[in-house]
Amino acid sequence: MWNFLTSNSSFVWDSLRDFAGSTGIAALFDTMGWGNVAMICVAFFLLYLAIKHKFEPLLLLTIAFGMLLTNLPDANMYHTSLFAGGHVHWENFVAEAGLLDYLYLGVKLGIYPCLIFVGVGAMTDFGPLIANPKSFMLGAAAQISIFLTFIGAYALGFAPNEAASIGIIGGADGPTAIYLTSMLAPELLGPIAVAAYSYMALVPVIQPPIMRALTTKKDRAIKMRQLRPVSKTEKILFPLIITVIIALLLPSAAPLIGSLMLGNLMKECGVVDRLSKTVQNELMNIVVIFLGLTVGATATAEAFLNFRTLGILVLGVVAFGFGTAGGVLLAKFMNLFSKEENKINPLIGSAGVSAVPMAARVSQIEGQKEDPSNYLLMHAMGPNVAGVVGSAVAAGILLSFLG
């Protein structure tokens, strides 16, 4: 053995040097190597938030792990060049694509967000919204944040398509944010997804100070009348009517709204329980894994470590604030023209940001701080689910103008 090593020392050393040069460790010392190290640290931090503090763990954990995989040097699991310019470069795809490139096609082609909306629809009860149609207005008011943030981002120098993708963070709807961004500004998908899901997890922190600042003690103590019972027929007709109306008025919103209402129809019709349970559980879980990994894969050092990302994070908080304030202020305005027995507790307006059901729970908690006997949860679910529809409609409007 020793004779072999001494007689072939040049070959042995060349092989060892080539092996050392092919490792990911060597790549860390390249120009962007330190950027990869920084992104790996960010991924570990997000994993910590997901596991230790349970910040939207179902998606934040997979997003963080996808971020980790894409920033491991020379792993070749995701290639931004295959999706450069917002297009899939099919001519190079088979020769160069890695695992995450194939999975990312579900994001790029708008498949994963729509499948998630089917599951969300199957888990959503539109009864409170049907019982109190005024909730639609509160859900719509919260979406004003999307357009205000769009204007603000555009004024700060972002391109219109980028500003639209940043604005959709205000809808507090992760799948909608991913869907719109993948269509308009895929290069911002990583930062926007991280911002959207991080702030959704922080709804109990972000919203209460705004809610208290915009309401009086008397406002927060308003008790609302019990909602009327909603028949099964109403619940079956609702998704059909909403799908037809929105698809006719705004065809670009049809994929999201149609998927949402299909899932809800499966739940309410009562004849496809197996399908309803499948989209709520198995399908939803599988798609969440693929969606999280591939969205995280777009968070490369080049895309994430810049001042634009910081601007997205700041504007995301602003968007959430505007959304919360919009619903609360509209509820107060509606009370000016309502009889005493029909007044709305403004706290439920904040639930219009569509972070279901977290935002509705925040309304309930804040209301009970003023009056422990006041139960606002079901009232808040009306604007909460209206916000889901509203954010999809807002995305459709932006797509129709900028897509």
Burial label for 217, CB within 10 Å (0-12, 13-18, 19+), is exposed
**How many whole angstroms separate alpha carbon 104 and alpha carbon 98?**
10
Mean pLDDT of 41-45: 93
> What are the distances in angstroms from CA 171 to CA 76, 168, 236, 259, 386?
34, 5, 26, 18, 11
Separation CA 283–CA 267 (nearest Å) = 15
Per-residue pLDDT of 277-336, as tens digits, reads 999 999 999 999 999 999 999 988 888 888 888 899 899 889 989 999 999 999 999 999
Q: What is the CA radius of gyration of the chain?
A: 24
Predicted local confidence at residue 149, as pLDDT: 93
Tokens, residue 43? 């991924």
> 297: Cβ–Cβ under 8 A, 6 or more apart, which residues?
66, 67, 69, 70, 77, 78, 100, 103, 104
- Residues 169 and 177: beta-carbon distance below 8 Å: yes
* Dmax (CA) of the chain: 100
Asked whether the beta carbons of 231 and 119 are under 8 A apart, the reply is: no
Q: Is residue 148 part of a domain?
A: yes
Query: Is 223 contained in some domain?
Result: yes
Mean pLDDT in the chain? 88
Q: Is residue 205 part of a domain?
A: yes
Give the residue, 76 or 349, on which the prediction is more confident: 349
Give the count of beta carbons closer than 10 Å to the beta carbon of residue 51: 13
Asked if the structure places residue 74 within a domain, the reply is no
Residues 6+ apart with CB under 8 A from 38: 301, 305
DSSP 220: H
**pLDDT at site 104:** 93
Per the structure, the count of domains in the chain is 1
Residue 309, in any domain of the structure:
yes
Rounded CA gap, 256 and 267, in Å? 17
Long-range contacts of 238-246 (CB under 8 A, 24+ apart): 238/126, 238/130, 238/264, 238/268, 239/121, 239/126, 239/264, 239/265, 239/268, 240/265, 242/389, 246/389, 246/393, 246/396
DSSP secondary structure, 78-114, as one string: --GGGGGGGS--HHHHHHH--HHHHHHHHHHTTHHHH
Please report whether residue 279 resides in a domain. yes
Per-residue pLDDT at 5 exceeds 50 = no
Q: What's the rounded Cα separation, in Å, for the pair 319 and 394?
A: 14
The winner for highest mean pLDDT among 67-76, 87-96, 141-150, 230-239 is 230-239
Q: How far is CA 36 from CA 101, 297, 312, 390, in A?
A: 19, 12, 20, 38
Does residue 131 contact residue 230 with C-beta atoms inside 8 Å?
A: yes
Q: Which residue has the tokens 């915009």?
A: 214
For residue 357, whether the previous peptide bond is cis, meaning omega lies within 30 degrees of 0, is yes
Confidence of residue 338 (pLDDT cuts 50, 70, 90): confident
Cα 77 to the center of its chain, rounded Å:
24
| pLDDT (0 to 100) of residue 130 | 95
Q: How far is CA 244 from the centre of its chain?
A: 25
Share of the chain above pLDDT 90, in %: 63
The DSSP result for 230-281, as a single string, is --HHHHHHHHHHHHHHHHHH-GGGHHHHHHHHHHHHHHHHSS-HHHHHHHHT
251-285 pLDDT, tens digit per residue, is 999 999 999 999 999 999 999 999 999 999 999 99
pLDDT of residue 19: 53
Structure tokens given for 335:
């009370």
Query: Residue 196 pLDDT more than 70?
Result: yes
Distance of CA 100 to the CA centre of its chain: 20
The model carries a pTM of: 0.88
Position 10 in a domain: no
With beta carbons less than 8 A apart as the criterion, state whether 323 and 172 touch: yes
Cα 252 to the center of its chain, rounded Å? 18
Residue 141 lies in a domain: yes
Q: CB under 8 Å to 307, separation ≥6 — which residues?
A: none
Host domain of residue 264: 121-291+303-402
